[in-house]
Amino acid sequence: MGVKSSGSGSLGGVEYAVLYLFQVWNMPFCTCFMLDKLSIKRLNNGPSDPRRPKLRHRPQRPKDPCKRKSEMAIANILKAVILGVILTLTAPSGKGWAQEPVTLISGDITLNGTLVLADGQTLSDGIILLTHGTLAHNGMETIQGLQSVLEERGISTLAITLGLGISDRTGFYDCTIPSRHLHQDGVAEIGQWLAWLKDQGAQDITIMGHSRGGNQTAWFAAENANAGFSRVILLAPMLGDPVKQAAGYEARYGQPLAGLLSKAQDMVAAGKGDDLMAVPGLLYCKDTRASAAAFVSYYAPEPRRDTATLLPVIAQPVLVIGGTADQVVTGLQAAVAPLSDDENLTLVMIEDADHSFLDFSAEDVADAIEEFVKG
């Protein structure tokens, strides 16, 4: 297994150039030519990224060039050139950030996805099938951000919204609706979307998931080695520690998990798994109702809900990405470390990234994915 560490994200070349040009544009021409140096730093006023050369502007010697008509003419020409460059850099290229909604019929419900093809690419050029985390959707900031930065790198994506038992679901799950969905439902839907992509002519398919979606992706990969995907990417995938889960449930909802789980398991054993029970909480839903089967699927001990146990079983190359500041999925590096001899597995830790992987962290994630997918 290769273990890598990636620094916090940095401005891309286009962003550096645009910021620089706007600063020059807003300076008096005579002043900008007398600057000794100009170094563009991060927008957050943090230190310059050592990986990128500083942008400098070389000084001119005339003391007062603004008084000379010829130099003013040059200034106007340069401003026109600068404006043209800005428009070129900021204009969308080809398809650009074009999102196409797609649907899939699964039983009696409609599943939604968002397809983003990189400029000049088709499904036959390769694509990433991307699954969100707990009770989320494909329009959440983490997922949309990933689609955007990957498209910039020429990587197409299909981000899906898991149905969670609701037809045509959009947005975060509505906790007023009783939960009948199962953790395993997401595993099955990943397989359905993979089949859909293949039917559309997609090739070189990578399956990827974030958080709980990462575990569901790993679960699918471990049990469907011949399903026709090329590689697996797991972004802060869920780990399954029953002790931590029980402690977390009681801390969040104020009741021990054991008694509720025992009741739900008894109902399932009695053939009443579809019956609803009032619970203080299910996942992120407080004071809600859930079927006994749903409660068991999310809280009963199940080794496959621990992503670390699935990694040795996956036949395809696997990239695991974590954040050093992640407070949701903790201990990822320690959990994966015992698998360090597996050459099929690569772990990348993003410095200062939390569980959402936004902004600069998204750029670092995309860089790791690009290297993994394109080699």
Q: Tell me what pLDDT residue 67 has.
A: 45
What is the band of 37 on the pLDDT scale with cuts at 50, 70, 90? very low
- Residue holding tokens 């899906």? 160
Strand partners for 100:
115
pLDDT surpassing 60 at residue 122: yes
User: What would the pLDDT profile of 89-121 be if each residue is shown by its tens digit?
Assistant: 444 443 445 789 999 999 999 999 999 999 999
In sequence order, the 6+-apart residues with CB closer than 8 A to the CB of 116 are 97, 98, 99, 100, 147, 150, 151, 156, 157, 158, 159
Distance CA 178, CA 277 (A): 9
Alpha carbon separation from 231 to 6, 176, 282, 315 (Å, rounded): 21, 37, 32, 9
Mean pLDDT of the chain: 82
What's the farthest any 2 CA atoms get from each other in the chain?
93
Helix, strand, or coil here: 355?
Answer: coil
Q: What is the mean pLDDT of residues 16-25?
A: 41
Order of strands, sheet of 109-116, starting from the edge strand that comes earlier in the sequence: 2-6, 345-350, 318-323, 231-235, 205-210, 127-131, 157-161, 109-116, 100-106
Q: What percent of the chain has pLDDT over 90?
A: 71
pLDDT surpassing 90 at residue 87: no
User: What would the pLDDT profile of 291-316 be if each residue is shown by its tens digit?
Assistant: 999 999 999 999 999 999 999 999 99
Q: Tell me what pLDDT residue 342 has.
A: 79
Q: Tell me what pLDDT residue 4 has.
A: 56
Q: What percent of the chain has pLDDT over 70?
A: 74
Helix, strand, or coil here: 132?
Answer: coil
User: What would the pLDDT profile of 202-215 be if each residue is shown by its tens digit?
Assistant: 999 999 999 999 99
Q: Tell me what pLDDT residue 66 has.
A: 43
pLDDT surpassing 50 at residue 41: no
- Which of 81-87's residues contact partners 24+ apart within 8 Å by CB, and which partners? 82/21, 82/24, 82/25, 83/25, 85/17, 85/21, 86/18, 86/21, 86/22, 86/25
Does this model's pTM top 0.85?
no
* C-beta of residue 333 within 8 angstroms of C-beta of residue 305: no
- Buried (b) or exposed (e) across 62-96, using 16+ Cβ within 10 A? eeebeeeeebeeebeeeeeeeeeeeeeeeeeeebe
User: What would the pLDDT profile of 148-163 be if each residue is shown by its tens digit?
Assistant: 999 999 999 999 999 9
**Virtual CA dihedral for 89, 92, 94, 99, nearest 10 degrees?**
150
Least confident of 227-236, 269-278, 331-340: 331-340
Q: What is the mean pLDDT of residues 65-71?
A: 45
Alpha carbon separation from 21 to 29, 48, 81 (Å, rounded): 12, 18, 10
Q: Tell me what pLDDT residue 328 has.
A: 96
What is the band of 343 on the pLDDT scale with cuts at 50, 70, 90? confident
User: What would the pLDDT profile of 240-271 be if each residue is shown by its tens digit?
Assistant: 889 999 999 999 999 999 999 999 999 999 99
Distance CA 26, CA 86 (A): 13
Between 80 and 58, whose confidence is greater?
A: 80
